[in-house]
Structure 1
Amino acid sequence: MLFRRFLFTPSKITNDILQLPTHELLQQLGYVKQASSGVLHWLPLGLKTLRNIEGIIRRRMDESGAHEVSLSSLSQRSLWETTGRWSNTELFKLKDAKKKDYCLVPTCEEEITWLMNSYLTSYKDLPIIAYQITRKYRDELRPRGGLLRGREFLMKDAYSFHLNSEDAVSTFERVNATYDKIFTDIGVPFVSAVADSGDIGGDLSKEYHFIHESGEDTLFRCNSCEAVSNIEKCGSYPVESKEYLGDVSVKYALNEENDTLVCLYYPASRHLNWNLALEAVDNDLEPQTRYMTNEEVLAKFTENYDPMFNGIIRVMDVRLNSRSNFPDFPLKSYLKNNFAQLNDYSIVDVEEGEICAQCEEGELESAKSIEVGHTFYLGKKYSKALNATFRQQDNSDVVMEMGCYGIGVSRLIGAIAQVTRDPKGLRWPSSVSPYKVSVCASDKSVDQLNKVKALLDYKPYTDFDAKTSIGAKIQQSHALGIPIAIVVGPKSWPNVEIEVRGNFRSKNWETSYEKLHSQLGWEYNQESGKHFVLHENANDVVNILLKDL
């Protein structure tokens, strides 16, 4: 018995469907179905696409020597309290029948560190990378964009463990090289950018993005040295320094010893960049003071304030000058000898058109983007908190160094759909498309359709409503994003028509066409972009074209 195959896809594609936002289009075309805000069910076409992306990631991760695991989605409270992350407001928290607290994991630094600490006992066991492709959970206050920001999502998360920082940084670079291969295999143009580590923590961080005007992130690229950074890590200089004459804002902070007040002065019209401020003072800022008000910082500083011993550092943004309108200094009692001033530092968020701080030559250009991957060198943030140690050759115990590396697998589907779609619908790269080819035939060409299907290396999509016309079938194939449609009709037989829906990444097929078109009976109409070939050679032409799609 054959079950109805086209249950989840519309029998007719309308302009109203094609004009929908991407997350609604994916639902209408039968890839996913939204159950509630931020929660989606995966349908057959969506699952095929998901598994193709998983396959690309798994192949490259296995090649790198990583070990695949699968951790529980439930994580006990005690681990998260140990690392200080139980108070995170985006954790889904629950209790079991014995009133024990758990969370649904949004990421697995705690659990993987606990797990690997059970097995990594000697320096001989390191380095090692473990990864998984599993569902994660985040209690998003405002889920949006369908697959781009949901409450449940599929993620590839990998974690590495190391003898020392040199080995950890080396693996960080090696995993980034693996990520370059993964995103190249996927076939959508991408950029990697120096990034802020955020709440995950660590000293090095890199993001992977698709450039698109709908993206929530902003990247900056230098038109000279071509360095790419996100706004949190991008340094810039004004075209003309010390030209700002307006009001000046100040952010007070403390050094890590809490014995020095750091005064960060910057134009009131700009936004302070904490990462750049950290660089200006050699990373010697108490992290908590970032989120404290100026009044709270001053109160903490003056608790044990002694003008003879406590220092004050003023950091001046490069845009300021002596004629800028500075606020009054709040302390009445201080020694001028304890004052230090750092000039010519840029400590505000970049603006387009400013000068790149890296090469000090090129201008910075901005672009909206969608983040799809992130890598981190963590240092000892989690291993130290969870006492993850190994024994060295001299029998002393040392805390492991760590890295973590994520790719939003389900997010990738939403992002690829968003950046590649056009007025005809989706437009998948052949590497991730649920089907590489469809066969569209009239109801009078069933025998010919079966002959073509039997010749193809790939199982084609043929799940069309039998009542629809051949034109409607072609339209549906194009809307679903299938890279190639083979059109079979009685008038052209024994030839078939091949319509290319995918986006060519290269034009190597043109060389093959010049060499083989006579042998294969292959004709190409440059005006329509359609290919015509003897049906027995259709598989050869399809394979040639797919290599470029």
Structure 2
Amino acid sequence: MSGTTKLLNPFQIKHFNKSILKQLSTPDLLEKLNFVKKTQSGLFQYLPLSVRTINKLSNLIHTKLQNELGAVHLELGMLSPKKLWDKTDRWQKQGNELFKLKDGKGNDFCLIATCEEDITDLMGNYINSYKDMPFIVYQLNKKYRDEKRPRGGLLRGREFVMMDAYSFAATERDSMDMFTRTNKAYDSIFQTLKVPYVKAWADNGDMGGDLSREFHFVDKTGEDTLFECSDCHNTTTQEKTESLPQKEGQEFGNVDVKYGLSKDHNTLICYYFPEGRQLNWNLAVKAMDRDIDSNLKLLSNDKILDIFQKENEDIMFANIIRVMDCRINSRSNFPDFPFRNYLKNNFGQIDGVSIVDAVDREKCTECEGGVLNASKSIEVGHTFVLGTKYSKPMNLKFMDKDNKLDDNYVQMGCYGIGVTRIIGSLAEMLRDPRGLNWPVAIAPYLVSICGTEDNGVLTSQIKEKLNQSSILKDNIYQSFEHNMSLGARINVSHALGIPIAVIVGPKSWPNVEIEVRRKPTTVEKTQWKEIHKQKDQEYGWKVIEPSNPQHLEKHIVSQEHAQKVIELLLHDL
């Protein structure tokens, strides 16, 4: 067979139409630009561009965790046996979220959604003494969650890439130190992205433990709500936020009620709050001085009353507690009480507590001086102090300094970062009429070289020059459909979110034009401006500042010095 066969890139963008970009949702835009291919609801195949982006973010996480925490990288199996989840009673509690399956012998497994059980079981083979701790291990791989209504593309899928880390310590103090250090490592990761983020104290929820912190991108498209105090600047998630009305007992309208039961089901708890407000279950539990059956929180009032009546022979002698939200008063319009006969001596009441979700501009309970400002956000990371939530049921103990085992259960923490969730979030947040707009740290390519077919010699020459840079090597994009116009190639580069486009043409050669796609976020453009003052003549460097927000910043520079100028520009992006 004579001659050579040129392999075309099957993932090139064909029939590019800039005008339709604004009309596409972000998931559709990612698919249109060949980052992903959706196979079913919540399931995606990752194409070469997204693989590069995922790998860059993953490498950033690897570097920060290993260098700043000394974290050890491992990989657990994708299948987790039911017998481990039974020990922590999560097989049933989280059953609706798990993909469950049986092997050929009938044994039950699930695809991993999170790995507290598996990692605790594994570490039982290696932790014997207090001298073996503290340490932290992590993995970075795909996880699975049976989302009933996947939405937001990569934001909430059924298969996703996640980093999950786990710390092990002999004392609560060491465990808290690991928590603090991991949060600092998270700060370093998000600061490298140069995208504004917020840390918020959060509720541990079903994960257990007493302390957790979430990392959020603030954006109007987010499905979460954060509250920050105007005075003390304490920031919390909606589930964690306790607020006070501007004036206590100011609601005179209708009152809603939500029923709950104590764990022994002998006490009916009646939560009263203003109609139209949402009961905050965490605050509702906090208001009580006894254990609440949280498994019933999603049941309707009728079902809870039915359970209460069936498990108490005579309602007259049962205990009833009314919990009154501080926004209502005795003259508010209460619903009818469900029972006619009861003993007043068995009837209790708790007043002056806040049991509903906070709303914008209510008072902060932390300092009682500031007001709470609400903002929509996207959660992208979470850190937990777990205590002995998993080590106790899985009997993970260690020998102390006196060589005693006793009840020396290992103190644990867990930490997660949603890799594909971050990518989906940034695609949504940073996109503009031109298309995607990636941070430099995770952009699939840093530079594109745009020239026509006739300028092949010139584009090869500038590419060879840029490849001499350790920063730019292997980060140059030049995969365009044949017979595509120069303008279309530039538009494709911008749509893909590549930070720098180098435009090559015979009329301007040996100068090239550099268009800056990515705009600075958290840093000021200072370095390149200082160098420009010193080297403008030597580099033949001319800057064209945008005349309006619709235009891009441009730099005209000799091709001999293009590499240096591009590196300076990338540093400030």
Evaluate the alpha carbon distance shift between residue 2 and residue 437 of structure 1 in structure 2; reply closer, same or farther with a 3 A threshold: farther
Of 58-67 and 196-205, more deviation after overlay is shown by 196-205
Which deviations, in whole Å up to 9, do the C-alpha atoms of 1:26-85 show, x marking residues without a partner?
111111111222211111111000100001111111121111110100111111122222
Partner of residue 210, structure 1? 217
Determine if the alignment matches structure 1 residue 101 to structure 2 residue 102.
Answer: no
2:341 to 328, 332, 349: 332
Measure the CA separation in 2 of the matches of 1:231 and 1:469: 50
Which deviations, in whole Å up to 9, do the C-alpha atoms of 1:204-262 show, x marking residues without a partner?
12211112222222222223322222211111111221111123333344455766554
Of 537-546 and 244-253, more deviation after overlay is shown by 244-253
Measure the CA separation in 2 of the matches of 1:497 and 1:67: 45
CA offset at residue 464 of structure 1? 1.4
1:533 to 546, 552, 557: 557
2:512 to 489, 496, 511: 496
Evaluate the alpha carbon distance shift between residue 198 and residue 9 of structure 1 in structure 2; reply closer, same or farther with a 3 A threshold: farther
Partner of residue 21, structure 1? 25
Q: Percent identity?
A: 46
CA offset at residue 268 of structure 1? 2.8
Aligned positions of 1:342-491 closer than 5 A = 342-394=350-402, 395-397=404-406, 398-456=408-466, 457=469, 458=472, 459=474, 460-491=476-507
Alpha-carbon RMSD across the aligned residues, in angstroms, is 2.3
Given that residues 66 and 129 in structure 1 are in contact (C-alpha distance below 8 angstroms), is that contact kept between their aligned partners in structure 2?
yes
Partner of residue 522, structure 1? 541
Partner of residue 48, structure 2? 44
Partner of residue 550, structure 2? none
Structure 2: any 5+ residue segments left out of the alignment?
548-552
Matched AA of 1:417: A
Aligned positions of 1:288-327 closer than 5 A = 288-291=295-298, 293=301, 294-296=304-306, 298-299=308-309, 302=312, 313-326=321-334, 327=336
Evaluate the alpha carbon distance shift between residue 201 and residue 352 of structure 1 in structure 2; reply closer, same or farther with a 3 A threshold: same
Measure the CA separation in 2 of the matches of 1:29 and 1:189: 26
Measure the CA separation in 1 of the matches of 2:6 and 2:49: 16
Which deviations, in whole Å up to 9, do the C-alpha atoms of 1:426-446 show, x marking residues without a partner?
111110001101111233322
Matched AA of 1:469: S
Matched AA of 1:370: I
Partner of residue 89, structure 1? 96
Matched AA of 2:425: A
Measure the CA separation in 1 of the matches of 2:327 and 2:173: 37
Given that residues 172 and 376 in structure 1 are in contact (C-alpha distance below 8 angstroms), is that contact kept between their aligned partners in structure 2?
yes
Given that residues 274 and 290 in structure 1 are in contact (C-alpha distance below 8 angstroms), is that contact kept between their aligned partners in structure 2?
yes
CA offset at residue 157 of structure 1? 0.5
CA offset at residue 300 of structure 1? 7.2
Structure 1: any 5+ residue segments left out of the alignment?
none
Measure the CA separation in 2 of the matches of 1:98 and 1:288: 32
Determine if the alignment matches structure 1 residue 77 to structure 2 residue 82.
Answer: yes
Matched AA of 1:81: D
Which deviations, in whole Å up to 9, do the C-alpha atoms of 1:364-420 show, x marking residues without a partner?
222222221111111222111211111212212411121111111111111111111
Given that residues 483 and 501 in structure 1 are in contact (C-alpha distance below 8 angstroms), is that contact kept between their aligned partners in structure 2?
yes
Matched AA of 1:7: P
Evaluate the alpha carbon distance shift between residue 301 and residue 291 of structure 1 in structure 2; reply closer, same or farther with a 3 A threshold: farther
CA offset at residue 171 of structure 1? 1.7
Evaluate the alpha carbon distance shift between residue 263 and residue 485 of structure 1 in structure 2; reply closer, same or farther with a 3 A threshold: same
Which deviations, in whole Å up to 9, do the C-alpha atoms of 1:132-190 show, x marking residues without a partner?
00111111112222211111111101111121333222322221111111111122211
Partner of residue 572, structure 2? 548
Given that residues 123 and 163 in structure 1 are in contact (C-alpha distance below 8 angstroms), is that contact kept between their aligned partners in structure 2?
yes
Measure the CA separation in 2 of the matches of 1:412 and 1:3: 36
CA offset at residue 360 of structure 1? 1.8
Measure the CA separation in 2 of the matches of 1:253 and 1:138: 29
Matched AA of 1:121: N
CA offset at residue 329 of structure 1? 7.1
Evaluate the alpha carbon distance shift between residue 435 and residue 111 of structure 1 in structure 2; reply closer, same or farther with a 3 A threshold: same
Of 219-228 and 46-55, more deviation after overlay is shown by 219-228
Matched AA of 1:540: K
Measure the CA separation in 2 of the matches of 1:2 and 1:546: 37
CA offset at residue 503 of structure 1? 1.8
Given that residues 158 and 406 in structure 1 are in contact (C-alpha distance below 8 angstroms), is that contact kept between their aligned partners in structure 2?
yes
Given that residues 143 and 149 in structure 1 are in contact (C-alpha distance below 8 angstroms), is that contact kept between their aligned partners in structure 2?
yes
Measure the CA separation in 2 of the matches of 1:175 and 1:257: 39
Given that residues 438 and 499 in structure 2 are in contact (C-alpha distance below 8 angstroms), is that contact kept between their aligned partners in structure 1?
yes
Specify the SS of the correspondent of 2:96. coil
Measure the CA separation in 1 of the matches of 2:190 and 2:166: 19
Specify the SS of the correspondent of 1:530. strand
CA offset at residue 108 of structure 1? 0.8
Given that residues 235 and 356 in structure 1 are in contact (C-alpha distance below 8 angstroms), is that contact kept between their aligned partners in structure 2?
yes
Matched AA of 1:8: F
Determine if the alignment matches structure 1 residue 66 to structure 2 residue 71.
Answer: yes
Matched AA of 1:150: G
Matched AA of 1:317: D
Determine if the alignment matches structure 1 residue 245 to structure 2 residue 252.
Answer: yes
Given that residues 31 and 37 in structure 2 are in contact (C-alpha distance below 8 angstroms), is that contact kept between their aligned partners in structure 1?
yes
Matched AA of 2:368: E
Measure the CA separation in 2 of the matches of 1:295 and 1:305: 11
CA offset at residue 324 of structure 1? 1.6
Evaluate the alpha carbon distance shift between residue 170 and residue 414 of structure 1 in structure 2; reply closer, same or farther with a 3 A threshold: same
Count of equivalent residues: 546
Specify the SS of the correspondent of 2:563. helix
CA offset at residue 486 of structure 1? 0.7
Measure the CA separation in 2 of the matches of 1:497 and 1:21: 31
Given that residues 252 and 297 in structure 1 are in contact (C-alpha distance below 8 angstroms), is that contact kept between their aligned partners in structure 2?
no
Determine if the alignment matches structure 1 residue 271 to structure 2 residue 278.
Answer: yes
Evaluate the alpha carbon distance shift between residue 333 and residue 500 of structure 1 in structure 2; reply closer, same or farther with a 3 A threshold: same
What is the TM-score of this pair, normalised by structure 1?
Answer: 0.93
Partner of residue 8, structure 1? 11
Measure the CA separation in 1 of the matches of 2:6 and 2:177: 52
Specify the SS of the correspondent of 1:391. coil
What is the TM-score of this pair, normalised by structure 2?
Answer: 0.90
Partner of residue 34, structure 1? 38
Measure the CA separation in 1 of the matches of 2:189 and 2:8: 32
